[in-house]
Structure 1
Amino acid sequence: MKPLHPKLKEITDRIIERSRPTREVYLNRIRALKQQGKVERDQLGCSNLAHGYASMPKTIKIEMQKSDVPNIGMISAYNDMVSAHQPFKDFPDWIKDEAQKFGATAQVAGGTPAMCDGITQGYEGMELSLFSRDVIAMSTAVGLSHQMFDGALFFGVCDKIVPGLMIGALSCGHIPALFVPAGPMQSGIGNKEKARTRQLFAEGKVGREALLASEMGSYHSPGTCTFYGTANSNQMMMEFMGVHLPAAAFFNPYTPMREALTRHAAAHMAQNLRSGSLKPIGEMLSEKSFINAIIGLMATGGSTNHTMHLVAMARAAGVILNWDDFDEISSIIPLLIRVYPNGQADVNHFAAAGGLPFVIRELRENGLLHDDVDTVVGHGMAAYTQEPFLDNGKLVWKDATKKSLNEDILRTYDNPFSPDGGLKLMKGNIGRGVIKVSAMKPNTFVIEAPAIVFDDQRDVLAAFERGELDGKDFVCVVRYQGARANGMPELHKLTPPLAILQDRGQKVALVTDGRMSGASGKVPAAIHMSPEALMGGGIGKIKTGDLIQFNAHTGELNVLVDAKEFDARVAPMPDLSKNTHGIGRELFAGFRSQTSSAETGAMSFGGDFA
């Protein structure tokens, strides 16, 4: 292996030093919680224990009364409305069965919500989406608060669910943890065909029946959506952080391999709890673990949502990341995969071509991944360069393929799709934001054009329908979409109309303090602008007609207005009352009122998490 890249070492040293005070406080806190007895439940009184045992079968109660039998807690995001989470229905029974074989017991400690951004896109429910992450974190902590568990297994896949589970797990970071995925659905119609139908519908050239048939041909079975959005980026990061079993992410649900991996997770946890060889998750995950997740995000062209979620997860462990770190790491990490929206393949094609073990090996061998980290399978990342196979029903891991099986999807370090990771920091007098450039065409990186300002994404769609955006270059500014204003919804509905205008030859770009879907990227979009408009950010002062300088090569984003004039402007305040009630939004008023900025994770907890 090559030595660690000097720039990566420099960035890592800076993050470690920056995080030293908060990381020390966190580690002291979780170490104080660590039970000194044989099992976690030793500290509970007899009446407390009786409540915890009451629903269990008699044989299991007998086992749970033994001080050398570990008890595994399961936190599940199961529901049968979200395709990615429906397969979790069978996991508890498999895990209870397997745990008993290895001298442990297991209980479902609690459940968390799991909403689908694909269902709520463009509607009121999307304004609950970001803060559902914090609800999931709190639900996770509630489930583990019974202090009955010596280790925990976490079942989640999609956008906010995995970050929420991780934040909750780290709040109980004194016990070991292992994340257990369910896998992607099998491939449906091609992403190019799906995108074409969406665009034709937006132009009024096909009807709703054709659109629905196309969408159902794409999202058609249990499992994660197969494009490389936030959900599949989650799964990638869990492997780069070493909290999955190696290469567990992208096997389909309801296959022998998926059941075997799930059962092995239970067996592995049980065996390691009995031997005491698995570190508590709060100690296992270091600054370098979170840096590895950023590296994976860049090498795979992952979701921009994780510029918030990774920051929030790291802060839950006392690790302080910022967008400069993402930008600098992106500059040295080559882009090794092209999966929709950065290409036409899906994650099943990517896994078949070599998958994450191939990517991890390429980075590790070339000094672009931290190897001195702890994982759920031991020290170092070597195990994550292997993939599992079933040999007469038994799991065995073998080295990943040395050669990509499809270079249109997956490439080596020496032959990347791009020398950098495709995510950049955008900054200037408008504020700080991020942009995903890995799916953009070279002629879209630079635009200097007048702003057209909107305070609601529906107004953008209406202007498009009226033809008011036709025939001119412009920068679409959509403000008051931040976490404090309306919960920071994704604005994925804007991609088709802006893409149509771009395909007609207009130069267009989007600037917003809201989010975009992890599946977007074709239209240049500076997103998560921080501070957001409601917190005094420069985006709130832009007027329609102001000239905007947008340069994704240099990361410059400025409104070309005299500095004194711009500073003196007072941002107009739109009526936000329509965002405060209905579909449960009134219940999230406290979240909106105290959330931190996007760059600090948009966390609503306050205190140490602010």
Structure 2
Amino acid sequence: MTTPLHPVIEQVTQRIAERSSRTRTAYLERIRAAADEDRPARTELPCSNLAHGFAACSGQDRLAVKGAEKPGVAIVSAYNDMLSAHQPYVDFPAWLKDAVREAGGVAQVAGGVPAMCDGITQGRTGMELSLFSRDVIAMATGVALSHEMFDGALLLGVCDKIVPGLLIGALSFGHLPTVLVPAGPMPSGLPNKEKSRIRQLFAEGKATQEDLLEAESASYHSPGTCTFYGTANSNQLVVEVMGLHLPGSSFVAPGTPLRRALTDEAGNQVVRLAQNGGASIGELLDEKAIVNGVVGLLATGGSTNHTLHLPAIAAAAGIQLTWDDFADLSAAVPSLGKVYPNGSADINHFAAAGGVQTLIGQLLDAGLLHPDVQTVAGPGLDRYRQQPFLDDGELVWRDGPAESLDPEVLRDVAEPFAPEGGMRVLEGNLGRAVTKVSAVEPANRTVTAPARVFDDQHEFSAAFKSGEIDHDVVVVIRNQGPQANGMPELHGLTPALGVLMDRGHQVALVTDGRMSGASGKVPSAIQLTPEATAGGPLAKVRDDDVVRFDAERGTLEVLVPDDELSSREPADGANPEPYGTGRELFAAFRSTVGRADQGASVFTQLQPENSEVRA
């Protein structure tokens, strides 16, 4: 018996479809016109062009590319050997070429895209390139696919901006069947709670740099994705719930036989899709799939960075997704996961508790996911209840656990950790912001305290270390939006703010910047728009103004009379034109980037067509 769809899921999906009708229709018309019906795309190329396309090939692959029968598959990789999450990709192209060849196609590495790590650049000037790297990756993916040689694509990427960038780029070639190929998480290391404890001790001067480095290197210790539930692992879960990974492939460790088998099968499957008219990525990523991705994110307390990435991905497919959609879905979707920073477990514990398959099964049975969607594994999301196994060396799928195997980490819908997903929109005389309360204690979700205003996170750190801040406070960090400096993550603030909270003070953060996907117990109003640099009211807040942060009512206000606030001159806190660490190369991005609530993208933003989409 089919479970009726939850009315909120149905209503939000319908309004997204209605507001996106014109742009989605135009997008589908474009990608359908680009599709080649019967023959490999490269057969349309003049002989000289085609010859360039197989000049470096040899053996069977040369004959296949030269011929007009076998589908061509592009491999677009974010491999580098500095980042643990992407280092395992070193072997994937050779594996995928073999798998595609055996399935009746021919694969070529079409291009590479950059992959930077927010963990390395955290608190450094390089972080000011981070968000913009998403759009660079999208453009690099477009360049890789632009040669008209391909009938399908395999996208190799894991981390923060990499997966959204790959998807945005691939959606410009939305007529191609496309499979994302994950690499898997590293084994569990030092427990996240202990790592957080050492960080706070270091912030207080009670632990040495050697203590801190030992703890950090015991946490991040081998090839594979970091095991906390930040943006990288949120990427993996969200794209699997949207049907872009093979079922059960997100959290299989690198360097294992099962990881190799799933990688090979991704190559096999993209050939089947290309040969048999399977769903292209542009058709697959429709309004229902986007809503499913948001629901999966909310049900697990995933990264707030996706309130930027998912609207940008949706826009690339002609779909208009807003923060109000997130908020309304969050109110209806229960919290089912407790993975650090929302709890003490890591992503391997989540997978062992039933992982994505149990999560999807529970949400489907509660009517909280659209079951009738296209996926890279075929029609219907029910396929994603299954987990992969090796049976005498053969890859097989079996039904995953219908119920959680560890209710401390993953809950069933009947007994959630909380009745809502915990991501909310705040609104008031300072603008609109996002907050995540899934890791914030209820007593800390409402804060009224005097502001202490900074134009730089390092200014705050210096004030904290000098002992200036040891009281109730709303810390305001402004001029950190996309137009100001590329909207860096401010995760480095968390240990000091956590110390103030542990001392018994009321503490909140208000910023037009981002927090990490690992943001946790500190109540934070982030991605505030309009940003201070663009004339937002945050530029008028002064030290000792009382700010009220109320996640329960969904409000964010500075308690200053309207006439006084409007009469104030904005503070002259804008950053000078930045140079160094490559920042000068991104001046054009800073001058053209869109608002945070529209995805903070440098690409043309979809224009709202009704009052539900905020200007």
Same fold per superposition (TM over 0.5): yes
CA contact (8 A) 1:315 1:609 kept: no
Alignment-mate amino acid for residue 136 of structure 2: V
Task: Give the alignment partner of residue 585 of structure 2, picking from 584, 587, 593.
Answer: 587
Is 1:423–2:389 an aligned residue pair? no
Aligned letter for 2:319?
A: V
Match of 1:388 in 2: 388
Q: TM-score scaled by structure 1?
A: 0.98
Question: Partners of 2:227 and 2:510 in 1: how far apart?
Answer: 27
Q: 1:463: which partner in 2?
A: 463
One-letter code of the match for 2:500? L
Given that 1:485 and 1:592 are in contact with CA atoms closer than 8 Å, whether structure 2 keeps it comes out as yes
What is aligned with 2:437?
437
1:18-43 Cα shifts (integer Å, max 9, x gaps): 00011111111111211244111121
8 Å CA contact 2:594, 2:605 repeated in 1: no
State the SS of the aligned residue for 2:20.
helix
Q: Which amino acid aligns with 1:187?
A: S
Deviations 1:510-562 (A, max 9, x none): 00000000001210000000111111211111111111111111111111111
Does structure 1 residue 475 correspond to structure 2 residue 477?
A: no
Matched, 1:94 2:92: no
* Partner SS, residue 288 of structure 1: helix
Question: Where has structure 1 moved over 3 Å in runs of 4 or more?
Answer: 607-610
Do 2:362 and 2:403's aligned partners in 1 also have CA atoms closer than 8 Å? Answer: no
* Equivalent residue letter for 1:73: A
Question: 1:384 Cα shift?
Answer: 0.6
CA separation in 2, counterparts of 1:303 and 1:275?
A: 36
Alignment correspondent of 2:498? 499
Q: What residue in structure 2 maps to residue 49 of structure 1?
A: 50
Question: Quick check: 1:445–1:524 contact (8 Å CA) kept in 2?
Answer: yes
Deviation, structure 1 residue 443:
1.4
Deviation (angstroms), 1:265:
0.5
**Structure 1 residues 47 and 340: CA distance shift in structure 2, 3 A:** same
Question: Which residue of structure 2 aligns with residue 597 of structure 1?
Answer: 595
How far, CA to CA, are the matches of 2:38 and 2:381 in structure 1? 31
Map 1:311-390 to 2 at 5 A.
Answer: 311-390=311-390
Residues 246 and 384 in structure 1, CA contact (< 8 A), matched pair in contact too:
yes
Matches within 5 A, 1:434-583: 434-470=434-470, 472-577=471-576, 580-583=578-581
C-alpha distance in 1, partners of 2:257/2:70?
29
Question: 1:402-421 maps to which residues of 2 (within 5 A)?
Answer: 402-421=402-421
Deviations 1:146-167 (A, max 9, x none): 0101000000000000000000
Deviation readout 1:435-475 (Å, 9 max, x if unpaired): 010001121011111111110000000000110101x2110
Aligned to 1:606, which of 600, 604, 607?
604
The answer to whether structure 1 residue 279 and structure 2 residue 272 are counterparts is: no
Would you say 1:242 and 2:240 are equivalent positions? Answer: no
CA shift, 1:491, in A, is 0.3
1:377-436 deviation digits (Å, cap 9, x = unpaired) = 111100111110100011111111123221100110000000000100011000001001
Instruction: Give the Cα separation in 1 of the matches to 2:293 and 2:508.
Output: 28
SS at match of 1:453: strand
> Take 1:4 and 1:432, find their aligned partners in 2: how far apart are those partners?
30
Secondary structure of 2:388's counterpart equals: strand
CA contact (8 A) 2:177 2:273 kept: no
**d(CA) in 2 for partners of 1:241, 1:345:** 24
Matches of 2:346 and 2:364 in 1, distance apart?
24
Contact 1:603 1:609 in 2 (8 A): no
Structure 2 matches for 1:63-82, cutoff 5 A? 63-82=64-83
Distance 1:607 1:385, change over 3 A: closer
Using the TM superposition, give the Cα deviation of residue 270 of structure 1 relative to its aligned residue in structure 2, in angstroms.
1.6
- Give the match for residue 105 of structure 1: 106
Gapped runs of 5+ residues in structure 2? 609-615
Shift of 1:98: 1.1
CA gap 1:103/1:609 in 2 versus in 1, 3 angstroms: farther
CA distance in 1, matches of 2:243, 2:588: 34
- Check 1:52–1:609 CA distance in 2 against 1; reply closer, same or farther (3 A cut): farther
Matches within 5 A, 1:205-284: 205-276=206-277, 278-284=278-284
Alignment partners' CA distance in 2, 1:59 and 1:519? 47
User: Equivalents in 2 of 1:37, 1:348: separation in Å?
Assistant: 43
Structure 2: how far apart are the matches of 1:294 and 1:415? Answer: 21
Q: Give the whole-Å Cα distance in 1 for the aligned partners of 2:513 and 2:289.
A: 28
Separation in 1 of the partners of 2:219 and 2:607? Answer: 38
Letter in 2 for 1:85: H
* Per-residue deviation, 1:62: 1.1
Q: CA shift at 1:608, angstroms?
A: 5.3
| SS of equivalent residue, structure 1 residue 526 | strand
Per-residue Cα deviation, 1:153-182 (whole angstroms, up to 9, x for no partner): 000000000000000000111111000000
The percentage of aligned residue pairs carrying the same residue is: 56
How far apart are 1:102 and its partner, in Å? 1.4
Q: Is this contact kept in 2: 1:425–1:432, CA < 8 A?
A: yes
Contact preservation (8 Å) 2:273, 2:279: no
| Cα deviation, residue 269, structure 1 | 1.3
The amino acid that maps onto 1:241 is M
Q: CA deviation at 1:211?
A: 0.6
CA distance in structure 2 between the aligned counterparts of 1:476 and 1:121, rounded to whole angstroms: 19
Question: Equivalents in 1 of 2:402, 2:19: separation in Å?
Answer: 38
How many Å separate the matches in 1 of 2:239 and 2:504? 40
User: Equivalences for 1:25-36 in 2 at 5 Å?
Assistant: 25-36=26-37
Q: Do 1:436 and 1:525's aligned partners in 2 also have CA atoms closer than 8 Å?
A: yes
Counterpart code for 1:581: Y
The alpha-carbon deviation at position 298 of structure 1 amounts to: 0.5
The alignment partner of 1:388 has SS state of strand
Aligned partner of residue 398 in structure 2, secondary structure: strand
- Aligned pairs, how many? 607
| Gap runs ≥5 in structure 1 | none
- C-alpha distance in structure 2 between counterparts of 1:573 and 1:304, whole Å: 29
Whether contact under 8 Å (2:181, 2:263) holds in the other structure is: yes
TM-score by length of 2: 0.97
* Secondary structure in 1 matching 2:142: helix
Cα pair 1:316 1:609 within 8 Å, conserved = no
Deviation for aligned residue 1:58: 3.2
Tell me which residue corresponds to 1:298.
298
Q: How far apart, CA to CA, are the structure 2 residues paired with 1:28 and 1:402?
A: 40
Please tell me the residue identity of whatever aligns with 2:253: N
Distance 2:38 2:515 in 1: 48
Return the letter of the residue paired with 1:586. E
| Structure 2 residue identity aligned to 1:492 | H
